[in-house]
Amino acid sequence: MRADVVGLTERLVAVDTAPGSATRGLVEQLATELRADGAEVRVQLGELDGQPQGNLVARFGGDGPAGLLLAGHLDTVPWQADQRATITPERDARRLYGRGTCDMKGALAAQWEAVVSRAGRLRRPALLAWTWGEEIGCHGAKALTADPALLGDVRDAVALVGEPTDLRPITAHKGYLIVRVVLHGEPAHSSDPWAGTDASVGLAILLRDLHELRESLRREGREHGDARHQPPGTTLNTGLVSAGTARNVVPERAEVVVELRPVAEQDGAELRRRLRACIDLACAAVPGLRAEVEEVEDNPAFDQPHAARLVQWLEERLGSPSGAVPFYTEAELYRRGFGTPVVVCGPGSIANAHRVDEWVGLDELAAGQALYADALDAFCG
């Protein structure tokens, strides 16, 4: 039995869906309840690191061409028992604390309550699409877009992704590209460093050139970038760096994980060419050194054209111009995979997500439910 939007959020938060946890049990429970609410429900099964996962698609209003897709993810970031944001939700007069309250189980509850409140008056079908693994690579969304038939006919639909945006319409964010570079040399005793091939020397050269590339991208962003983003251009970070196995052994292995956040206008092939040039220069500077390069993630930048009716409607309904956010979402995967206009818009602030005291305002949840209900009236009524 559902409670109000706050009580429903509390129920969702109470199920642990942090990395390393399963979502399939929650999906099966939600499928049962949504069927009782009159939805046709489809579950797409998955697995990660031995944990059973699942995507859920619930269609209200029959099999015809859908008008609106309300989307979100079931998983959260990790939590610890000594934090305030755990899977035991806590509310005060104005806020609900707990892992996932803001990002983004509160939005799921608001979507659910909204669609049930409008289910009896839909002229066009409405869908809920909730996925697993967004926080660790958008695994569920990629699986869902690989099999769009699960959603039925969405050719003329529009989509809202309920990430926390303070209920501002978001039409752009940067992409996310992760590249792991492993340099392989030859070990030797440290008493004679020249007897081996020192991978750490190549790493030092590579880091220097990567940071020169970062500054070049920064200058290009200032001159030609997208002012909706701050900073306005593509960024590069070398967040994970390691070399060697022991203090008395010439390092035979060195590694750097490169994170790139490209703007939509960035030429992906050219960016990869420039990255590869840095790697090749490092190898050329250290005879015998070779590189192993792996693209770990490649998620496209989001850029929804402003002319879409959904964007215009949201700007008028919310009294707020559309903009960009610095974090990644599933929006572009859906825009490309389903061919529908997509806007990211949900209750709560990203500033309150992923914190030890993650929270969402009770009035924000109510406002999110009201917005989604109005969207159902506008696009399915």
> Which CATH superfamily groups domain 5-172+302-380?
Zn peptidases (3.40.630.10)
**Which residue from 125, 81, 83, 89 is spatially nearest to 105, judged by alpha carbons?**
89
Cα 243–chain centre separation: 30
Stretch (H or E) spanning 84: none
Stretch (H or E) spanning 87: none
**128-162 residue pLDDT tens:** 999 999 999 999 999 999 999 999 999 999 999 99
2 pLDDT band, cuts 50/70/90, is low
Structure tokens at 291: 């590189």
**330-341 residue pLDDT tens:** 999 999 999 999
What's the pLDDT score for residue 3? Answer: 64
Q: Which residues pair with 56 in a beta bridge?
A: 43, 130
Report the C-alpha gap between 188 and 185 in whole angstroms: 10
Unique residue bearing structure tokens 């839909």: 122
Q: Which residues pair with 238 in a beta bridge?
A: 258
DSSP labels for 321-369? Answer: --EE-SS--SHHHHHHHH---EEE--SS-GGGSSSTT-EEEHHHHHHHH
**288-327 residue pLDDT tens:** 999 999 999 999 999 999 999 999 999 999 999 999 999 9
- The architecture of the domain spanning 176-299 is 2-Layer Sandwich (3.30)
Q: For the chain, what is the mean pLDDT?
A: 96
**20-51 residue pLDDT tens:** 999 999 999 999 999 999 999 999 999 999 99
Known catalytic residues are 75, 134
Q: Look at residue 1 and tell me whether its pLDDT is greater than 50.
A: no
For the chain, the helix, strand and coil percentages under 3-state DSSP, each to the nearest 5: 40, 25, 35
Q: Where are the domains of the chain?
A: 5-172+302-380, 176-299
Mean pLDDT in residue range 170-181: 97
Q: Do domains 5-172+302-380 and 176-299 have the same CATH topology?
A: no
Contact, 340 vs 358, CB < 8 A? no
